[in-house]
Structure 1
Amino acid sequence: MNILVSNLGFAFSGIGFVFLFLLLLTTKKQSLQKKLLYLICFFGVVWSLTSYSQFTAQWGIAPVLLAESCLNIALFLLLTSSLSNHQTLNKTITSSIQRGLLAALLIMASLAAIRMFSPILNLKLFLLFHLGQAIIGLWATEQLYRRTHRSETWAIKPLCLGLGVFFAYHFALYSDALLTSSIERGFWVGRGWIAVLAIPLILLTARRVSNWGSRVYVSREVIYHSTLLLVAGGYLLIMAIAGYYLKIQGQAWGSLAQSLFFALSGIVFASLFLSESFRNNLKVFITKHFFANKYEYRVEWMKVAELLDNQDNSPYDSALQAMVRPFGCEQALLAIQENNKFKIKADYQTADNHSEAQQLLSHLANPAVEHQWIIDIPQLKSGGEKTPFEINTLELPTNHPFYYVVPLTCSTGVKGVYLLSRPTSTDRLNWEDRDLMRAISMQLSVYLNVYHTNQKLAESRQFDTFNRMSAFLVHDLKNVVAQLQLINKNAVKHRHNPEFVDDAFETVESAVGRLNKVLHQLNNKRLEKQPTQSVNIIDTLQTVCEHRAVSLPKPTLQFNSTSNESVTYYHLSADADRLRNIFGHLIQNAQDATPQEGVVTVKAELKPDYFVIAIEDNGTGMSQDFIESRLFKPFDTTKGNAGMGIGAYDAKQFIEDLGGYIEVDSTLGKGTRFQVYLPVINENQTVIEK
């Protein structure tokens, strides 16, 4: 059992090399470094198996030394190839020192292989060989780290750290063995655990270095929680050792001292893990030392989209939270430019008095927006930031929490700035923080520009509705005026005719009703939908024709039916006044387009699916282009100031609302035929009923 427990490190290292090999298989990209990683995985598994079996199978130390020599050669080749962009060993190992060291390693491995079958050399000499291998490994690791450009050291740092510990441990092991002429067993079996530590670091570098071909993704959350677990485990282990020491040293009071110590350490442990600052600092440490980028951009954009989709907050609050969240700012403001002045639209955990912020805005907002510049206020005051504009820093307020001014601009719309306090997610802004700020700011500027555009569009629609209502009301007033003018014109000849007097009173009564409706709609500032009622179509047409008979040519009404039912029995559920106005307008248009000696005919015909009213004339007619492009276009008229250009448009809208449609057939110089189709049965109910 003791042997199995002491060799667990080699078992885990073997599993780790197998796992690394399987992860490398997940990508198709091939490179020299990837092939060497395959080789390292193979020799790593062999080294772990021989080390594990040294005591359990009584293999002796020779196979272990041979496997370790092969593993060291593969690691040396990986370190030297990482310094070159070439993909062959001949072009990679160019210096005489590298070739000499590789030859020495190969000779040592060969001698170790020979010693497995014939003890030609003393074991102490092999310990010296492996001490030399450890020194060569440390030299190669140092060369890789020192000769790598500073901007790329983050990529190879985990590899250098892992292999540096691996070779340093072996250096200490074999140095001790040579000094004492023996290998301490605990020291020896610890190699497995050192390998377990080095494998994840090799994997991390394989992920960071693009040409190694690894596409393994390690989540920041996984690293974060794993680090928390590791810190917790280490803390508890240290506390356990300290508690055991107190128990041993305390004698009679040892158990009590141990219990009190555990209680206090538990409180400290809970306080640390509940501390927001501790967790934030840990995230910053992990981000700095384990990842190529400070931010996980896919997650960041998903969270920004989620914030912008929140309907509970105003667009300004959502935009401010989207900027604040990635950087963990404790205070922030969003100001938008209105009438050449920046007005605060949203604030986050700031005081109600924004006088200091307004002073900052008056001095820094315009330069930030004009030059698209993220201003670092402390650096600006100390003179450490070079800007494309000049600011008198003595005029800047001092009693405020803000560190940065971030411009918010859109090429054709909103302009504004963010005032941000010191970020808690980083110690100091670098190029990556500024790029993320700019990217989020650009997205939010588009978002707010769309919001402003929608606001203006809503206002424009309200004005359009009001203008449309006004046009229809004026159109109604014009019709009333036309009726009254017609009475006044005919009064000269017919004022003593009792029938004319009766018609005049009816017309005045109708005009009063229309005017009251117009006044009611003006008071309510909207066009109200009138209640529908059962309207006899033929009676309506007869009434309209009689009213239009005062103008020439007089319209004539004709009707027939292709079915067994008479058209005179059918009614339409609609607004009676508006229906009369529609037919009256169409007949009036026919009269206006026809000379007095011409003909205007109104025909009504009942067909199986539609009630068809045709209004025909032999007037001037219209071109097909005019019918398609202008006839039903609102506010487009050929009557000059006498017309509003909405009669035909209103007729088309009203008939289509009833489920019907209008067809127009016209020829220039020959006349026009308007055919109004009213459905007998629509999708929901009978429109025309007996």
Structure 2
Amino acid sequence: MAALDGLAQMLSGLALAGFACVALSLFLRPRVRMAALMPAPRLLALAAGSGALWAAAMMAFTPGAPQALLVQMLRDLGMLAWLGATFWPPNAPMSRPLRLIQKMLWTICVLTLLLGAAAFWRGGAAAEPWMEPTLTFAAMVVATGGLVIVDAGARHGAGLRMPVMAVAGGFAMLWAYQLNVQLIGALTGKKASTLIALLPAVALLTLPTYVVAAMDVGRERMRLSRPAATRTLVLLGAAAYLVLIALTVAIARAAGGDYAELAQAISLVALLGAAGLMLASARSRAWLSVMISKHFFEHRYDYRAEWMRFTATLGQGDGEAGRNLYRRVAKALAELTGSPGALLMMPGAGGGFRIAEQWQWPGSVAEDATLSLRSSFMLQETGHIVELDAERRGQEGQDLAIPDWLLADNRAWVVVPVLHFQRMIAIAVLHRPTVSRALDWEDLDVLRIAGQQAASYIAESQSQQALSEARRFDEFNRRFAFIMHDIKNLASQIGLLARNAERHADNPAFRADMTQTLKISAGRLSDLLVRLAPRERGSAAEPGRVLIEPILKDVAAEARPRRELFVGCQAGLAAWADAGSIRQVVAHLVANAIDASAPESPVQLIAVAEQQRVRIDVIDQGCGMTREFIRDELFKPFVSTKDNGFGLGAFEALQLAEAMNGAIEVVSEPGRGSSFTLWMPLADAHDGAAIDARMMKAGRT
């Protein structure tokens, strides 16, 4: 034992010399401040100087003596002062709870110093039996609080350079060792003499961190990762639990009886119960995760880890999710915010957005679960991420036309527009997480950027699909070579008929047969010419201001031999589009309406301005269509209900409408007719936006 005390005194002497040299070096080198490596060099010199006094006390007495514990309070004051000034400068002050902890620690240190000084002044440590337990308890509290301060400082000042983080790590190592030694003594009721004697050696291990600061080395920054911070929090929680057990056992032992074992049993049962609750309850785990992210981390998300997981989910190519891009997008967006499920809505064939895929959405969704074109226009123009709880309370501040089925479904939490170059190609609806919370700026930014990333994947997939359809068109065009054989046969038939006419022109029966044959041949030739007409428009025409009423009158005049149309148009209505494309789309919709209607059924052609858009309705009372046909087949190429039809007209009309930044909406029921609506940008709205842009540009110049 005497040899151990001698070793402790020798190590204390070395620690005294080391701390004194470091304190002097830091005090005499103000250029450390200029190097911006050590924000508070004078306070660090003070901390090193107080460490030297503590080492002197350990050398003069013993490392665990009351006198050394009293001087240790002075050392802790210096360390706490440097931590506060370094990690929380005036322009970035501490949070209120952390500031209260710091003040409490300062108060404990100062009161302990005053009480200890008074006790030693009156008669020494032997005259005050409460002195050593009080100092030990105060040291445990200060060490625990110091570890909390170091952890919070490491997260708050994650961008500080290596010397700062190294010194803070040295403080944490010293406090953690002392806390471990004192906890062992409190739990066993005996001093850990060997561990106490090695305390000067631990102090010597912290000296290199001061040397790094004094020598002005290590300019690179150190950042504490979120997993490391989480493990630190777990260790601090375990330390707090052990402190609580030690205090409980000490109080029970002081009270007498068998309460010490009872207190230990109760503490163990409480710990096992809390751990079981966290393991068994998803809601408890989610609540704990939210609380930790909210109160212990500067940012809610670990962006590196979240982004790697997000891109891995989008890019995975195996499993059920790997075979469905839409499901992967829904899953990736949901996992970002901890949502247990998600819906992905895509543009529907009949207008608006319909549910295309879902990921772990519990239960069923209504059959008419759609988002109208009006709502999609509003979301596209604003790029607004809708928090449905605020929308239900009427706090959003603008009418986004969110459908009733979505507001009524309390599972729906957030609506995220998926935009690609200011064009909305999908809408994600996220399920409410287990522990519901309000969105903050960080959630909105993450969802907005993630939506853009997901949109690029969807757009690439759609481009691949369009390329596949283009190849099918090429194959389809090659088939037209076989039509030339039919034309050749028709030409031969007409030539033969002309030669026979020279010999049998006077025969009435021949003339009747010739007339019928010519009609059939002419009809077949007209059909072939229509089929040979070019389906591609070539380069798109530049949009401009187009009056709608003249186009509607031309289409009605062309259709008059087949059907008299009812035409109604708002006076002066103009669209920002291509006149030829509008005429082609409307003519096709009118032709379809006439084909689907009985000869006596009326067909209406109506155009008005609505929602800053031009709306052209083609309404018939024909046979109508089923929802399944509209959703799955109406606008698909090579699908047609007409005899000998190729199914390209509706597909081409939709392509032309979308090329003009428009859309086609369909409402139909079997036996009740159909209503096709062509939406296009309103010319007045485009002119107003252009004027505003010119005014803003003029204001900047």
Rg larger for: 1
Query: Normalising by the residue count of structure 1, what TM-score does the alignment of the two structures yield?
Result: 0.47
TM-score relative to the length of structure 2: 0.46
